[in-house]
Structure 1
Amino acid sequence: MRKRLIISSLGVLAALLLALIPLSSASAHEVRHVGNYTFIVGFLNEPAYANTQNAISLTLCNGKTCQIAGGGDDGPVSNPLNDADKSLKAEVSTGGSAPLALTLTPVDGAPGKYTADFIPTKTGDYTFHFTGTLNGQKIDEKFTSGPNTFSEVEHIASYPASQGTTSQQGNNDLQAQIQDAKNTGVLVGSLGALIGLIGLGTAVVALRRRPAASTGSDESLRG
């Protein structure tokens, strides 16, 4: 009995510890098997920030086995696919913006790894599109950032803020305060009107229930 109690307590403690561990907003890279090859795709630098230099990170392996030594994204991979940059094209897009064509470049000293430099200028989801062929196999694959794939582009705070940015932020804050005040005034006014209607209704009911003066009193006054 005591042993079961200890095991249960440990289980609850482990669950609490897991709950306290913050979850990552996205996996480091997306792994996808495409025909005879394995694609590992993401941003070169994650988390990715708007207006900060970054790049597509592409790792290609022959077959469905693509293990990265050391468990990270920077180690050598098993079964690397070389020279893919000669037959594969890449482009990036976000939202309704037109796709931007990029050039894949092999990473020196890292077989099977390729990058394509660009600077994301907007926050949000980005899509990497690869087209072409790999040893005769047609490739047309899109990889989109998200909670289950790779990092979305986030906003990074700048310091010190420019005067224009500060003024705009102050103006936005002022407009927000004015709108809040308007909303509060409407709410208070609505509550006041409701309370007034309730009071008026109560007064009308009270007047209707008020007993009329007795007939005897009226007759005595006439006499």
Structure 2
Amino acid sequence: MRRLRFSLGALALATTGLLIAAPAFAHTEKDAGPYKLLFGWRDEPAYTGSQNAVQLFVHDASGKAIDDLGKKGLTVVVSTGSGATAKSSSPLALTSAFDPDSGLGTHGEFDSPLLPTAAGTYTFHITGDINGTAVDVSAASSDTTFADVTDPTAIEFPVQSQTVPQLSSAITTLQGRVASAQSAAASARDSAKSSKTMAIIAIIVAIVLGLIAILTGRGRKTA
């Protein structure tokens, strides 16, 4: 019996140790009146070029999941970058992931699909209304909230593909070269047209001078 108790105790300690060692759920929690909002990326790590979503869980003060947000509901604006490179999305609807007809999905979960195309820090700004309670909360990705978006190069195998920014840069460079080639071709065409025009003018002048010479010669003979 003592051995059994010891084994159960050791198992409990080991389980506790695993729970403590496990990484924290990468979401951040904010309060909005009587409601608690837990939000972050649906899939982490979050990689550029990979389908993801802003994921939100809504519970009341007692911990009960809220599936019905009311008529207005919630939206999220996603932003990244700073200064001249700052970008913000239009308001994206957060829709329920739970299907009451089939019973599939998670109670209290609301998602907004998103495919991040640039690595870096992202901010989620959630606004709207939950059954008459105004909501206006935001958080930026960090070590204590949810993950930054990173390039997937480190996990690509066997061939590492170019990232979205790299492809964009390559396309921009190619477009510049095409524009330069088109400009050079246009200049060459204009130059060719000018040369052709000058040649025609020279021929006309030569003909006119020839006619003048002929007429002048005839006039002298007549005299």
| CA deviation string 1:36-92 (max 9, x = no partner) | 1000101000111111100011000011x44xxxxxxxxxxxx01122274212221
Counterpart position of 1:83: 68
Whole-angstrom CA distance in 2 between matches of 1:162 and 1:80: 41
Whole-angstrom CA distance in 1 between matches of 2:120 and 2:90: 16
- What code does the residue aligned with 2:45 have? P
Counterpart position of 2:58: 60
Contact 1:85/1:104 (<8 A) preserved: no
| CA deviation string 1:115-162 (max 9, x = no partner) | 100101111111111111112111111121111111111111145245
SS class of match (1:139): strand
Q: What is the correspondence of 1:18-37 to structure 2 with a 5 Å cutoff?
A: 28-37=26-35
- What code does the residue aligned with 1:38 have? K
Change (3 A) 1:35 1:49: same
- What code does the residue aligned with 1:59 have? F
- What code does the residue aligned with 1:49 have? Y
Counterpart position of 2:90: 100
The alignment's C-alpha RMSD in Å is 3.1
Q: What is the correspondence of 1:64-213 to structure 2 with a 5 Å cutoff?
A: 65-66=62-63, 79-84=64-69, 86-87=71-72, 88-95=74-81, 96-108=86-98, 109=104, 110-157=106-153, 158-159=156-157, 160-161=159-160
The unaligned stretches of length 5 or more in structure 1 are 1-20, 67-78, 169-223
Change (3 A) 1:120 1:83: same
- What code does the residue aligned with 1:90 have? V
Aligned-residue sequence identity (percent) comes to: 33
Counterpart position of 2:45: 47
- What code does the residue aligned with 1:97 have? K
SS class of match (1:100): coil
Taking structure 2 as the reference length, what is the TM-score of the superposition?
A: 0.53
Aligned residue pair count: 134
Task: Extract structure 1 runs of 4+ deviating beyond 6 A.
Answer: none
Q: What is the correspondence of 1:208-223 to structure 2 with a 5 Å cutoff?
A: none
**How far off is 1:33 after superposition?**
2.1
Whole-angstrom CA distance in 2 between matches of 1:163 and 1:123: 13
Whole-angstrom CA distance in 1 between matches of 2:133 and 2:151: 38
Whole-angstrom CA distance in 2 between matches of 1:135 and 1:163: 46
The unaligned stretches of length 5 or more in structure 2 are 1-20, 99-103, 170-223
Contact 1:27/1:149 (<8 A) preserved: no
Contact 2:45/2:147 (<8 A) preserved: yes
Contact 1:43/1:55 (<8 A) preserved: yes
